[in-house]
Every structure is written in C-alpha cells, then in structure tokens.
C-alpha cells in the first residue's frame, strides 16, 4: 500500500508567532485524535527551525516550500537544500505553479533543485499541472508529461522513491474551483501510467500522487475516494487548524 498524505502549503502567510501558534494547534489536534494518513505542514523558511522544535513527528512532519538550485555560496537571499534539512524539515515542495509562473522556474532549474534536495536527504513534493488554456485545448496530458520528464526522468528509480507528486491544475488553485473527482482521477491515472512507462509498474504503484487546488473538508472525501488520489496538497484550507484537520479526517472511515 502506498503512503497516503495530507500536506499543507502555507505559502507567504503567517508571522513567526502566528505560525508557531498554528503549528501547535495542528499538532495538538493530531495528538488528541491520531491521523490515519501522514500529515505534513510546509512553512516559510523562517518558521522551520521553531516549528521543528514543537511538533511531534509521530503525527506531524515538516517541510519547506522551496529551496535553491545551487548548493552553497554567494547567492544572497537564497536558502539551500542542506540548510532546509538542517532545520529538521523532511520535505520540500518544488515546482509549485506559483514558483514556475512568478519566479520563472524552468524544468531545468527544477531538475537542479530536485537533485540537490534528494542529495541532502529531503523528500520532494513535486507539483505539476496545466493552466486553464491548456485544459481547454485538451493539452493537459502533454503538459504534465513534459513537466515530469523535464525535471524527474533522469532520476534513478531509487531516487524517485523519495518523490511525491502533486497534481495541481492551475485553474483550481485558490480559485474555489476544484477539479471534479473524475477529472482528478483521470489525470492521476495518466500520471501513474506515465511513471510506469518510465520507472516500471512497481515504482508507479508505490508513488503517492496528491491532488491540490481548492481542496476543503467538504470535497476531500470524494476526491480521496478515487483509487489514484493518495491525498492532498492544501493551500488556503491549511491556514486554519480546524479546516486542515477536517481534510486529514477525510481519510478516516
Ligand atoms: P489552494 O492551494 O488549496 O489554496 O487552492 C493549493 C496549492 O497551491 O498548493
């Protein structure tokens, strides 16, 4: 059985104090009522070390939202994979559509980031997904396949075992417009088939594929019920402990 995951992506939200409070709330709620999936919160860099010190990693794991495409040195303002790892974080989100769109992250840059993250012992949550125009012209599979092959297909199967995929149709992120469970399943099955062709069936079957884009407590259960949907990457709804826990609970019977 592949791992089921609900991961929060706080994006550029929360002061340090508010972030610590939220992490505490999420941690407490999971200690009181153990989750039946892996739960991760991905926070801004500045929160990582403090949050690492207060969460119980038996119920809650920690991740960053990005890392540099260089190992170290004179890159003012950047944060390396090694630095992320040293905070106690286990995961890093790479390839989020906001990074691709607003910070010009190309498949080649993302390939460097993925390699550095894996080399430093981080697990990667790698985001892929099409924009509305691409879906309307029926190009979504082609786009997603190019994103996968452009950044991940030089990995060995052993390295790829530390990659979690997140399918996030860009038109569904922060818009309140969720993909239907059927649209999500159709794409997740395509992604799994593409992984099987590259890395083999066993690797594909073991790969966790998350859905992201306006996932909330009210729609999580229907999305997670699909055979190829292994959890969610949650933006807006991860900023309130109650909503986030509601999505985590979608994995309960
Ligand atoms: P959203 O964001 O849940 O606010 O749509 C998801 C994401 O960008 O990861």
Max CA separation in the chain (angstroms):
51
Handedness of CA 34, 36, 38, 39 (dihedral sign): negative
Mean pLDDT within 38-55: 98
Domain limits, the chain: 5-251
> In a 3-state reduction of DSSP, which class is residue 74?
coil
Q: Is residue 7 lining ligand 1, measured as CB closer than 6 Å?
A: no
> What is the DSSP code string of 88-142?
T--EEEE--HHHHHHS---HHHHHHHHHHHHHTT-EEEEEE---HHHHHTT-HHH
Render pLDDT for 72-131 as a digit per residue (tens, 0 to 9): 999 999 999 999 999 999 999 999 999 999 999 999 999 999 999 999 999 999 999 999
Render pLDDT for 130-150 as a digit per residue (tens, 0 to 9): 999 999 999 999 999 999 999
pLDDT at residue 174 greater than cutoff 90: no
CA distances in angstroms from 47 to 34, 79, 152, listed in the order given: 24, 13, 28
Q: What is the pLDDT of residue 177?
A: 82
pLDDT at residue 230 greater than cutoff 90: yes
User: Which residues are designated catalytic?
Assistant: 96, 168
Backbone angles phi, psi at 80, to 5 degrees: -80, 165
3-state secondary structure 6-66: EEEECCCCCCHHHHHHHHHHHHHHHHHCCCCCEEEEEECHHHHHHHHCCCCCCCCEEEECC
Note whether 130 and 174 are within 8 A (CB). Answer: no
CATH fourth-level superfamily of 5-251: Aldolase class I (3.20.20.70)
Render pLDDT for 11-41 as a digit per residue (tens, 0 to 9): 999 999 999 999 999 999 999 999 999 999 9
Mean pLDDT within 149-168: 98
List, in order, residues 6 or more apart from 84 with CB less than 8 Å away.
45, 48, 64, 67, 92, 117, 120, 122
For residue 49, name the pLDDT band (cuts at 50, 70, 90).
very high
Distance (angstroms) between ligand 1 centre and the Cα of 170 equals: 9
How high does pLDDT run on average in the chain? Answer: 97
Q: What is the pLDDT of residue 113?
A: 98
Q: Which of 236, 240, 244 to mutate to test the pocket of ligand 1 (most atoms within 8 A of CB)?
A: 236
Q: Is residue 215 lining ligand 1, measured as CB closer than 6 Å?
A: yes
């Amino acid at each position: 059985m592949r791992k089921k995951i609900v991961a929060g992506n706080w994006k550029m939200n929360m002061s340090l104090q508010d972030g610590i409070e939220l992490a505490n709330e999420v941690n407490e709620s999971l200690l009181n009522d153990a989750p039946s999936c892996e739960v991760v919160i991905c926070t801004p860099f500045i929160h990582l070390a403090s949050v690492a010190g207060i969460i119980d990693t038996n119920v809650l794991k920690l991740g960053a939202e990005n890392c540099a495409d260089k190992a170290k040195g004179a890159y003012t303002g950047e944060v390396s994979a090694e630095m992320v790892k040293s905070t106690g974080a286990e995961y890093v989100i790479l390839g989020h559509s906001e990074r691709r769109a607003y910070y010009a992250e190309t498949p080649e840059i993302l390939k460097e980031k993925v390699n550095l993250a894996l080399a430093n012992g981080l697990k990667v949550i790698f985001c892929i997904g099409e924009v509305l125009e691409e879906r309307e012209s029926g190009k979504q599979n082609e786009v997603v396949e190019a994103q996968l092959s452009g950044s991940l297909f030089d990995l060995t199967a052993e390295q790829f075992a530390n990659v979690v995929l997140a399918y996030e149709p860009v038109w569904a992120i922060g818009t309140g417009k969720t993909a239907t469970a059927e649209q999500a399943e159709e794409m997740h099955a395509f992604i799994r088939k593409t992984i099987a062709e590259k890395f083999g069936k066993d690797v594909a079957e073991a790969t966790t594929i998350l859905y992201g884009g306006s996932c909330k407590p009210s729609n999580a259960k229907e999305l997670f019920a699909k055979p190829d949907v292994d959890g969610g990457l949650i933006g807006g709804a991860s900023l309130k402990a109650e909503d986030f826990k509601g999505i985590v609970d979608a994995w309960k019977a």
